[in-house]
Amino acid sequence: MTRERTANVLASLAWAAVAIFAATLFAVGFFLRVTIVKPEVVHFEPGFHIGIAAAFIGMLALTVFMWRVCQRLSRMHLTALPAVVMAVVAALLLVGLRVRQDADFQVVSLAAQRFSRGDYFPLQTDYFQSFQYQLNTVFTLEPIAYIMHLMGVQEYFDDVMPVLNVLMGLGILLVLADMARRVMPDGERADAAVWAIGATYFPMWIYAVFVYGTMPMLLFGSLAIRGYVLYTRSGKLIDGLTIAIFGAAAYIAKLNAAILLAALVICAVLHGIAKRDWKPLLFVLAAVVIATQAPRFIRWQYAIRGNIRYRDRMGMLPRLTMGMQDGDIAAGWYNAYVFQFIGTDERSLNRDAIALADLKTRLGEFAADPAMMVSFFVEKFLSQWLEGAHGTMVYGETTEQIGVLAGIAPQIFTSTSPIRVTVEVILAGVERVLLLFAAVASAWHVRRERDAGLLVLPVVVIGGILYHMIFEAKSQYTFVYMIYMLPLAAQGLCLAGAWIKKKRAAK
């Protein structure tokens, strides 16, 4: 088997894996409703859900209608108008609610604000001593906090950031739509499809409530993917630099972008094997080098500014062990396992040895009871990928709102509220639409001539699936990979539209 043939076979397997993944979730999702109820417990409702089926049909019709609208608007260079309208509505709602951040979101946002004022006390806390990787996210947020401090409006930081997240959502769609227009067959229709699906993929706008590094990571990651896809076609230096700069920036914003960097490395290696062109790999490796060294600089400059010394930081092993444990939320979800190692006591100093022993014990339990192991991982998988709200609705229920619309927050977020139930059913239908078209496009790529650069999309999705099946699970994390599947869904919509048009012409 030639090198090129081997690379093509591996690429086909990646596309097939994502096609099966998306099609399986699409089908199972009609027979299993997954929600999160206060205080963050995953709830499963088996059985055929006619509400989700009806929501899927309705959202499918809306998506197709919006696609036609976007195609017509493209003639006036207004393709993004529906998404802009959604962004404005989302921003007004978020400003009206004024959600106070909670948990890790609150810790990093408050740290960014205090650091920007020259107050480095948070660096002395056990939280940042143990979870030093969170300083990356703080570093990303601090410039905005500093500007607001200079303007004397820093008390509105938690109100401004969700609006900026909404704007970043528009930026993500702009990047992905431009990529689709440049590299996909019938590019103008694919561009319109990205904007149409993006406008109707409501989680894009609701997710802005989280003040964290996820939206910046997604924006930078989308730019890196676009740079890679274009560079494999054009070889332009600007596209190669885009890979290096924004691939590293995504990792700095949030370390979960390591999955994207790994996907870029894999695809660049396969591209080199197939085409004997190793230049894309050089830019990807540049991104990796910058990304791995930047956190050291971030920790160093905070240590200098705060005049502190770090203790040993929490490694990956305790988090891996936590991902293999049962918990009150769901299998493999956060269960506070890592917090037993915070501090300076003997247990913290020996955390890796303790975590390894606990991991070996857990793996022994899996080996002794394979049925239990299968049940654990099935629950972990479905609880992450079928919760269409991505944790946003329960977050609204558990946090405080202080805006002019705070009075209606209970009607929106309370678990038993008809509005919340309706919203969650609609979000489930929205997710099915994206999965359906992503499955169509991925299946189409399996046996056909394809753009080698686009391989990064299925590979990063596979990486996300594997990573969160091993480490901590949370439906918030799967949002990222749904967005990375959006260009595939857009291509699937175009393929379905072309097939229907062909059938009609044949009659």
Q: Which helix (H) or strand (E) holds 444?
A: helix 418-446
Phi first, then psi, for residue 172 (nearest 5°) are: -60, -45
- Which residue did the predictor score with more confidence, 348 or 218? 218
Distance, CA of 431 to CA of 28 (rounded, Å): 12
pLDDT range class, residue 14, cuts 50, 70, 90: very high
Average pLDDT (112-140) is 92
Per-residue confidence (pLDDT) for residue 121, from 0 to 100: 93
Quick check: 353 pLDDT over 90? Answer: no
Distance, CA of 428 to CA of 506 (rounded, Å): 35
pLDDT range class, residue 344, cuts 50, 70, 90: low
The 10s digit of each residue's pLDDT in 434-458 is 999 999 999 999 977 566 789 999 9
Average pLDDT (117-129) is 91
Question: Coil, strand or helix: which one is 390?
Answer: coil
Determine the residue type at 354.
Answer: I
Per-residue confidence (pLDDT) for residue 456, from 0 to 100: 95
Cβ–Cβ under 8 Å, residues 380 and 332 = yes
Cβ–Cβ under 8 Å, residues 481 and 461 = yes
Average pLDDT (231-257) is 95
The 10s digit of each residue's pLDDT in 148-197 is 999 999 989 988 999 999 999 999 999 999 999 999 888 899 999 999 99
Average pLDDT value over all residues in the chain = 92
pLDDT range class, residue 237, cuts 50, 70, 90: very high
Distance, CA of 63 to CA of 77 (rounded, Å): 19
Query: Has this prediction a pTM greater than 0.75?
Result: yes
Q: Which helix (H) or strand (E) holds 401?
A: strand 400-401
The 10s digit of each residue's pLDDT in 76-119 is 999 999 999 999 999 999 999 999 998 889 999 999 999 999 99
Average pLDDT (257-262) is 96
Quick check: 347 pLDDT over 70? Answer: no
